Structure 1
Amino acid sequence: MAQMTVGVSLGPVVARMRALDGRLHPRDGVAVFNRVYLAVTEELGRRIGDGEFPVVRTAETLAVRFAERYLAAVDAASEDEPVPACWRPLFQYRRHPGVRPLQHALAGINAHIGHDLPIAVVATCRALAVPPAALEADFDRVGDTLVALEERIREDLMPGPDLLEVADPLTHLLGSWSLDRARDAAWSSARLLWTLRDRPDFVREVTDSLSAGVGLVGRCLLTPSGR
């Protein structure tokens, strides 16, 4: 299959995700999320190239800063360095036989949206010397891209019909998490972090607490449901 061409700024992070896709075992939970996120980033690159984002530099900067957070977690894990609390459950349960691919995908999305996205927004604001309000339209467009792909992700990775009974615990578990709610919470967190930007001690406290809370949700999403 031909690989999608992306913008120059997104090229390096997409190349790294493609390399990971070729290196990780397909059933590895990190590989599952990586494939999902690679598809999201390539789609963002296509939409940016098609002119759906009015200010290309802003959109690409946000997308790159966003991706770099995930790739930093991958680097930390590969070097046996501490992984942020929000990402720790995915890396701990990446090979658990009782955790299904859709759980891995949603746990990764939860970590990336809930923790990494607000930090990426603030980093983008600093890089471009603009307040969060200047990024809100691009933030919403990135969120719309994620929401559009979430349904496809669930369809592609949802277990077979025998596991879709209303009473099945997996059905309730996966229905308990909402990308829309996570996106709204991420925007609120970004605004708070921007307000605290001149108080690094408070920023550290808030980001550590945010990472721990998001990690707890991720751990719940990864509850083993059987082989």
Structure 2
Amino acid sequence: MRPGPNAEERLSALMEGWAEAGDRRGAFTQCYLVMTKRVHDAVDDGAFNDGAWVTRLLERFADYYFEAVDAHGAPEPQHPCPEVWRSAFDACADPSCHVLQVLMLGINAHINHDLALALVDVLDDWDTLDETARSARHEDHERVNEIIEATTDEVQREVVDRWSPAARTLDVLLWRLDEWTFGALAESWRSRVWTDAMDLLALPPGSRREASAHLGTRASTVATVILLGRHPGHRAEGYPSGVAHAPMPEPAPDGMRISLPE
């Protein structure tokens, strides 16, 4: 059963409106729409232990994206747009940023900043679950990773071809995708995010806000790495193609392990 209000419909409307305007914010939105559809299809097919929980997670996860979109476009937003999202949106208007960077900036912001927060929101019953139920939730999270990895080719074909037809041979610029692919990065980041969510859940509720701020710090560090590769062909010694060194974020508070995603 599709969630309501229908996140797919709003993603589609945003994507088409931005495509018509030539606004590259639509590139990540299309990527997100494709992957969301595939996870929804898997829910409909009974691929998860708890499809209702996965649907709830998808809804809450999408809320964080829509909140960032609304805040970025509002003169006086109710809540400020997270800095990592502001950077991602601003890069869409920068002609020196390739569409691959635009995609990766959005993926980084949504996974490394938003996902752990969404998980904490929908794992509000964690303390009441036995080990079997907890394992089932983790298995469902990992199943989403598998779906994202399987969707990589479709994303590359449909999204990159639409927004940058000249990049069909994707390894000629920025990152060679056999070294650092959308799927591999998303899977690695999502796996790490589960640990982040567990760390947040282990803290007293009153301490989570401060600790979760480090998610934004880390995601912004990753965004800096992505942006430093904006010139095609640039390669920093010891890093994948187009990736240069960026400063590490400040240490996280006690009880919260946050490190730079690989």
Task: Identify the residue that residue 58 of structure 1 maps to in structure 2.
Answer: 53
Superposed displacement of residue 155, structure 1? 4.8
Runs ≥4 residues deviating over 3 A = 127-134, 172-177
Matched residues in 2 for 1:211 and 1:175: separation?
Answer: 26
Unmatched 5+ residue regions in structure 1?
1-6
The superposition leaves residues 126-178 of structure 1 with CA deviations (integer Å, 9 ceiling, x where unpaired) of 278755545211111111111212243235528244x735xx5x126994572
Any residues of structure 2 matched to 1:178-189 within 5 Å, and which? 178-189=185-196
The superposition leaves residues 88-129 of structure 1 with CA deviations (integer Å, 9 ceiling, x where unpaired) of 211121111121222211211111111211111111112787
Task: Identify the residue that residue 217 of structure 1 maps to in structure 2.
Answer: 222
Task: Identify the residue that residue 195 of structure 1 maps to in structure 2.
Answer: 202
Greater relative contact order (Cα 8 A, min sep 6): structure 1 or 2?
1
The superposition leaves residues 16-62 of structure 1 with CA deviations (integer Å, 9 ceiling, x where unpaired) of 11211222136423210000101111111111111112322111111
- TM score, norm. by length of structure 1: 0.82
Unmatched 5+ residue regions in structure 2?
233-262
Give the number of aligned pairs.
Answer: 214
Q: Structure 2 vs 1, CA of residues 173 and 22 (structure 1 numbering), >3 Å: closer, same or farther?
A: closer
User: Is the 2:23–2:92 Cα contact (8 Å) retained in structure 1?
Assistant: yes
Matched residues in 2 for 1:85 and 1:137: separation?
Answer: 31
Superposed displacement of residue 72, structure 1? 0.9
Superposed displacement of residue 219, structure 1? 3.2
Q: State the superposition RMSD in angstroms.
A: 2.6
Matched residues in 1 for 2:179 and 2:227: separation?
Answer: 13
Matched residues in 2 for 1:174 and 1:99: separation?
Answer: 20
Partner letter of residue 171 of structure 1? Answer: W
Partner letter of residue 187 of structure 2? Answer: D
Confirm whether residue 112 of structure 1 aligns to residue 114 of structure 2. Answer: no
More helix by share: 1
Q: Structure 2 vs 1, CA of residues 74 and 56 (structure 1 numbering), >3 Å: closer, same or farther?
A: same
User: Is the 1:33–1:108 Cα contact (8 Å) retained in structure 2?
Assistant: yes
Task: Identify the residue that residue 40 of structure 1 maps to in structure 2.
Answer: 35
